[in-house]
C-alpha cells in the first residue's frame, strides 16, 4: 500500500530486501482480509530485484493484472500504423505536403494520391507514421506539445468515417486485453459538434434551469437518442472486428473480450459559454439515459486564451448542472500547466476550482498543484474528499517537459492523495499502460505494493456503478457483506455472491483480486 511518507530510496529498498531474507518464511505470509495469503511477499522481493532490469520488469508488468485505464482519449489511443491501415481500408487519400489522410477524391497531380499507393514508398510511410504521432519528434525542429496536438489533424478524417469509431474501440480493447487490463473508460465526443450548433441558436439566460429546458426542447433530447444509436453501431462493428467470445465474469454488461468498457462524454472547452452549456446539457443527458456513458470531462488546451478567461465560469456551469441533475460523475483535466507556459496567476486555482466548484471526483494531470494557493491545504482537501489524480507520466513529459523530480507524482504519494496511472493518448505518445507502470516504478523506486495499490485504485475510483468491495482505500479488508469470504477461494459465500451481483464495481474488483492470486502463484512457482 502507498506509504504516507512517500517512496523508498534505493538504499532503503536494499535494506528491506535484506531484512526480508533474514526473517524468511514468517514474512512471506501476508494477511489478506484476516487470512494468510502466501506468495505475495515473495513476488514483492522479486519485483524489487528486477526493478532496474528493464526487459524483465516490462515482461513482469505486462503479465501483471491491471485494473483499468481511466484517462484515455479514444481517438488518440490508436497508433499511426493503424490509422494508415484503416485509411487504406476506407480507400482514402493522403496530402503529401501536409501529411494528412483525407477523404476522396484523390488526385496524384495535385499531390493527393491514394493512400494505399503512396505508402508503398517506405520513406513516405515512415514520414507519415512520424507525422501522425510523436515518434522521432525530438529529431525535428518541433516541440513535443506542437507535434502532439498537431498529430490529430493528420488522422481526424479517419476517425470521422462510418467505421472510424469502431476501429478505435477495437484497437483499444485489443491492447488492453494484451496487457491484462480489466477495464477501460474511454473519452469520446460523439454528438458534441451537433450540441455546439444548438448552443449557437440560444440566447443566454442566467436561469440555468430554464436554459437547460430550452435546449432540451430545441433538440438535445433527440440528439441524445441519435448519439446512443451511434454508440450501438460502433460497438456492434467493434465486436465483429474483435471476433471474440465474451469471457463470463460477474460484471456481464459491455464486455469486450474480457475487457469492460465504459465511456466519458468529452466536451470541447475552447468554445463560448452558450456552446459549452449545450455540450454539458447533452453530456449530462447521455449519462442519465445510457449506462455505458458514466461521466463527463472537458477536453482541449487548458492554456488556450478562452479557457484561461472562462475557466471559473466553466466550473460553475458544471457545478450548477450537477445540482440540477445530481448523480452525474465528473472527471476533469485540471492543472495541466506549468510556470512559463502561462503567467503565474493562472496556476493558482484550476485544481481547487475543479474540485470545490465543479465537484470533480477525479482530476487528470494535476501538474501545477504546488503552485496553487495554499497547496498543502489543497492536498488535504483532495484526501478528505477522496479525489483521485490520474497520472500521465509520458504525456506530461512530451507536452509539458515535466518529468522525474519536477513531477508532483511523489508529492501526491507523500501526502496520501489517491493516484493511479493512465495513458492519455497512448497511440500518439507511442506507449501503453504497461510502459507507464514501468516508468513509474523505475523513476520513483516504487514497491510492488505501491504498484498494486495504484492498479486497485483504478477500479475503486472508476465510475462503474455500485458499491466498492473494499471497506477503505487502504485495501485492508472487504466490506461487511464479504467479510467472511476467503480471497483465494473462488467459491463465494451466498451473502458475498448476492452483493457482487448487485454491485458491478465490487464484482470487477473481485475479479482483479482473483487475477492477482493466479498471477502471484505463477510468479512464485517460476522463481522458486
Each residue's pLDDT expressed in tens, for the chain with a length of 528 residues? 333 334 445 455 445 444 444 333 333 333 344 343 556 889 999 999 999 999 999 999 999 999 999 999 999 999 999 999 999 999 999 999 999 999 999 999 999 999 999 999 999 999 999 999 999 998 888 999 999 999 999 999 999 999 999 999 999 999 999 999 999 999 999 999 999 999 999 999 999 999 999 999 999 999 999 999 999 999 999 999 998 755 433 334 567 788 999 999 999 999 999 999 999 999 999 999 999 999 999 999 999 999 999 999 999 999 999 999 999 999 999 999 999 999 999 999 999 999 999 999 999 999 999 999 999 999 999 999 999 999 999 999 999 999 999 999 999 999 999 999 999 999 999 999 999 999 999 999 999 999 999 999 999 999 999 999 999 999 999 999 999 888 877 689 999 999 999 999 999 999 999 999 999 999 999 998
Q: What is the pTM of this model?
A: 0.91
DSSP string, 274-292: HHHHHHHHHHHHHHHH-TT
CB 16 within 8 A of CB 496: no
Measured N-to-C along each axis, helices 192-199 and 221-242 cross at an angle, to the nearest 10 degrees, of 170
Give, in degrees to the nearest 5, the angle at Cα 233 between 230 and 238. 125
Closest by CA to 81, choosing from 428, 414, 316, is: 428
Angle ∠(242,244,249) on CA atoms, nearest 5: 120
Please tell me the distance from the alpha carbon of residue 276 to that of residue 321, in angstroms, as a whole number.
12
d(CA 149, CA 303): 13
Sheet hosting strand 419-421, strand order edge to edge:
331-334, 362-365, 388-391, 419-421
Where are the alpha helices (H) located in 54-93, listed in sequence order? 54-63, 74-77, 80-89
The span from the CA of 457 to the CA of 442, in Å, is 20
Separation of alpha carbons 283 and 296, rounded Å: 7
End-to-end CA distance of the chain: 25
The domain segmentation of the chain, as residue ranges, is 1-50, 70-75+180-460, 78-159
d(CA 322, CA 376) in angstroms, rounded, equals: 27
d(CA 94, CA 96): 6
Fold of 70-75+180-460: TIM Barrel (3.20.20)
CB 377 within 8 A of CB 342: no
Measured CA to CA, the distance from residue 452 to residue 523 in angstroms comes to 15
Q: What is the enclosing helix (H) or strand (E) of 188? A: strand 181-188
Amino acid at each position: 500500500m502507498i506509504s504516507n511518507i512517500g517512496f523508498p530510496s534505493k538504499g532503503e529498498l536494499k535494506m528491506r530486501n535484506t531484512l526480508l531474507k533474514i526473517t524468511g518464511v514468517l514474512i512471506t505470509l501476508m494477511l489478506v482480509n484476516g487470512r494468510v495469503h502466501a506468495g505475495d511477499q515473495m513476488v514483492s522481493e522479486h519485483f524489487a530485484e528486477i526493478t532496474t532490469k528493464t526487459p524483465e520488469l516490462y515482461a513482469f508488468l505486462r503479465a501483471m493484472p491491471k485494473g483499468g485505464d481511466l484517462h484515455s482519449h479514444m481517438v488518440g489511443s490508436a497508433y499511426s500504423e493503424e490509422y494508415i491501415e484503416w485509411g487504406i481500408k476506407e480507400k482514402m487519400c493522403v496530402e503529401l505536403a501536409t501529411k494528412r489522410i483525407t477523404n476522396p477524391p484523390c488526385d496524384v497531380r495535385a499531390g493527393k494520391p491514394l493512400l494505399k499507393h503512396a505508402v508503398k514508398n517506405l520513406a513516405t510511410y515512415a514520414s507519415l507514421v512520424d507525422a501522425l504521432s510523436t515518434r522521432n519528434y525530438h529529431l525535428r525542429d518541433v516541440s513535443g506539445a506542437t507535434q502532439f496536438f498537431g498529430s490529430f489533424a493528420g488522422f481526424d478524417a479517419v476517425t470521422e468515417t462510418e467505421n472510424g469509431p469502431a476501429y478505435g474501440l477495437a484497437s483499444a480493447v485489443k491492447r488492453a486485453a494484451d496487457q491484462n487490463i480489466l477495464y477501460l473508460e474511454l473519452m469520446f465526443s460523439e454528438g458534441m459538434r451537433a450540441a455546439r450548433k444548438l448552443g449557437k441558436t440560444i440566447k443566454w439566460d442566467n436561469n440555468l434551469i430554464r436554459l437547460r429546458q430550452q435546449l432540451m426542447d430545441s433538440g438535445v433530447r433527440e440528439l441524445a437518442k441519435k448519439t446512443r444509436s451511434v454508440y450501438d453501431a460502433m460497438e456492434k462493428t467493434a465486436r465483429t472486428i474483435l471476433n471474440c467470445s465474451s469471457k463470463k465474469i460477474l460484471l456481464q454488461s459491455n464486455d469486450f473480450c474480457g475487457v469492460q468498457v465504459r465511456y466519458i462524454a468529452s466536451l470541447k472547452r475552447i468554445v463560448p459559454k452558450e456552446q459549452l452549456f449545450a455540450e454539458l446539457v447533452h453530456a449530462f443527458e447521455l449519462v442519465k439515459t445510457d449506462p455505458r456513458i458514466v461521466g463527463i470531462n472537458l477536453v482541449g488546451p487548458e492554456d488556450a486564451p478562452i479557457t484561461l478567461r472562462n475557466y471559473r465560469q466553466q466550473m460553475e456551469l458544471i457545478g450548477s448542472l450537477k445540482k440540477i441533475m445530481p448523480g452525474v460523475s465528473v472527471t476533469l483535466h485540471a492543472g495541466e500547466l506549468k510556470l512559463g507556459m502561462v503567467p503565474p496567476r493562472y496556476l493558482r486555482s484550476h485544481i481547487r476550482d475543479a474540485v470545490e466548484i465543479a465537484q470533480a471526483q477525479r482530476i487528470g494531470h494535476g501538474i501545477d498543484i504546488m503552485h496553487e494557493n495554499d497547496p498543502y491545504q489543497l492536498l488535504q482537501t483532495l484526501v478528505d474528499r477522496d479525489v483521485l489524480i490520474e497520472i500521465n507520466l509520458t504525456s506530461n513529459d512530451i507536452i509539458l517537459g515535466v518529468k522525474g523530480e519536477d513531477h508532483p507524482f511523489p508529492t501526491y504519494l507523500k501526502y496520501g492523495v489517491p493516484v493511479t496511472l493512465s495513458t492519455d493518448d497512448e497511440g500518439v505518445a507511442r506507449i501503453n499502460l504497461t510502459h507507464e507502470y514501468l516508468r513509474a516504478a523505475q523513476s520513483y523506486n516504487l514497491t510492488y505494493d505501491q504498484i498494486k495499490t495504484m492498479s486497485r485504485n483504478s477500479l475503486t475510483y472508476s465510475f462503474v456503478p455500485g458499491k466498492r468491495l473494499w471497506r477503505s482505500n487502504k485495501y485492508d479488508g472487504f466490506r461487511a457483506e464479504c467479510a467472511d469470504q476467503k480471497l483465494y477461494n473462488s467459491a463465494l459465500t451466498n451473502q458475498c455472491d448476492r452483493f457482487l451481483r448487485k454491485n458491478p464495481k465490487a464484482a470487477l474488483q473481485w475479479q482483479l483480486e482473483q487475477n492477482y492470486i493466479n498471477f502471484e502463484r505463477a510468479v512464485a512457482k517460476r522463481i522458486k
